């Protein structure tokens, strides 16, 4: 299956390898790569944590499965405000700066979650979980605030590419969980987020200036991205 996919990828893109791409159609692929990784640790960790959190609350605090599920649902509930909030903050205060702050917040958040044990009061554990969740899901919004600004005519392809890495992150982190304790699982996510934070700081460029778009009639439109 891998070889089949590689063959067809080559067939679709071989003209790019044999002919020089006009400057107007070029974009920095490193932008896509960094956003892929950022979505891996944001949405990927959300999917993983939502899957294991009821079990974690049940085992840690001796709760019934129903109560554990209700309390753990607060992590996903934050989506209602956090994800659009992340996009709004990104538009208002700068996309790279916002993403860096949110990645830093979720790194600290997961480090806090790794310290939760049976000595914690249940309300404090829930508050810590929801606080971490805010940074995770706001980070998702901040990632997609940048996606359309890389190359507008390829927004669908880039969005699909970035979104796929959320599933990659979920599978990766849940695989880790199958081998380690939940506390170590949270630390692995925190460490991954810290690495992505550094990569984002070094390699991600703040969208600025103008983006050229070739319209159907052949004319070129310059779109402000700041």
- The pLDDT tens digits for 180-196 are 999 999 999 999 999 99
The reply to whether 17 falls in a domain is: no
Flag whether 16 is in a domain: no
Could you tell me if residue 5 is inside a domain? no
Residue 209 pLDDT: 66
Distance of CA 214 to the CA centre of its chain: 30
Instruction: Reply yes or no on whether the pLDDT at 225 is more than 80.
Output: no
Does 24 score more than 90 pLDDT?
A: no
> Could you tell me if 174 and 40 are in contact, meaning their C-beta atoms sit under 8 angstroms apart?
no
What pLDDT was estimated at residue 187? 97
* pLDDT range class, residue 32, cuts 50, 70, 90: very high
Whole-number percent of the chain with pLDDT over 70 = 92
Give the count of domains, the chain: 1
* Confidence category of residue 210, pLDDT binned at 50, 70, 90: low
Average pLDDT estimate for 35-44? 97
Per residue in 52-87, pLDDT tens? 999 999 999 999 999 999 999 888 888 889 999 999
Helix pair 122-146, 29-61: axis angle to 10 deg: 170
Domain of 148, in residue numbers: 26-224
- Residue 123, C-beta contacts closer than 8 angstroms, at least 6 positions apart: none
Q: In the predicted model, is pLDDT for residue 18 greater than 70?
A: yes
What per-residue confidence (pLDDT) applies to 222?
66
Is the pLDDT reported for residue 93 higher than 70? yes
Tell me: pLDDT of 200 over 90: yes
**What pLDDT is stored for residue 133 in this prediction?**
95
Query: Which tokens is 11 given?
Result: 């067939």
- In this structure, is residue 168 part of a structural domain? yes
Give residue 218's pLDDT: 62
Residue 45 domain-assigned (yes or no): yes
CATH number of residue 34's parent domain: 1.20.1250.20
Q: What residues form DSSP beta bridges with 210?
A: 224
Is 88 within a domain? yes
**pTM strictly above 0.95:** no
Phi-psi region of 224 (alpha: psi -120 to 50; beta: other; left: phi over 0): beta
Residue 18 lies in a domain: no
Question: Per the domain annotation, does 198 fall within a domain?
Answer: yes
Mean predicted lDDT score pLDDT of the chain:
90
Query: For 146-192, what is each residue's pLDDT tens digit?
Result: 998 888 878 899 999 999 999 999 999 999 999 999 999 999 999 99
For residue 15, the model assigns a pLDDT of 78
Res 35 pLDDT > 90: yes
């Amino acid at each position: 299956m891998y070889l089949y996919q590689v063959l067809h990828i080559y067939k679709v893109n071989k003209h790019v390898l044999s002919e020089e791409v006009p400057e107007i159609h070029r974009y920095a692929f490193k932008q896509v790569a960094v956003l892929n990784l950022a979505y891996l640790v944001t949405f990927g960790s959300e999917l993983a944590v939502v899957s294991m959190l009821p079990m974690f609350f049940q085992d840690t605090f001796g709760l019934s499965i129903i109560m554990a599920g209700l309390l753990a649902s607060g992590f996903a509930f934050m989506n209602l405000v956090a994800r659009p909030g992340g996009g709004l903050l990104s538009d208002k205060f700068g996309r790279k700066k916002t993403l860096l702050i949110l990645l830093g917040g979720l790194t600290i958040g997961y480090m806090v979650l790794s310290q939760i044990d049976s000595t914690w009061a249940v309300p404090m554990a829930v508050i810590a979980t929801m606080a971490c969740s805010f940074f995770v899901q706001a980070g998702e919004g901040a990632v997609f605030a940048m996606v359309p600004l890389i190359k507008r005519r390829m927004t669908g392809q880039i969005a699909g590419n970035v979104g796929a890495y959320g599933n990659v992150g979920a599978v990766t982190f849940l695989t880790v969980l199958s081998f380690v304790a939940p506390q170590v699982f949270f630390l692995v996510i925190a460490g991954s987020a810290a690495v992505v934070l550094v990569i984002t700081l070094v390699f991600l460029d703040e969208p600025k200036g103008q983006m050229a778009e070739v319209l159907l009639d052949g004319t070129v439109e310059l779109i402000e991205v700041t």
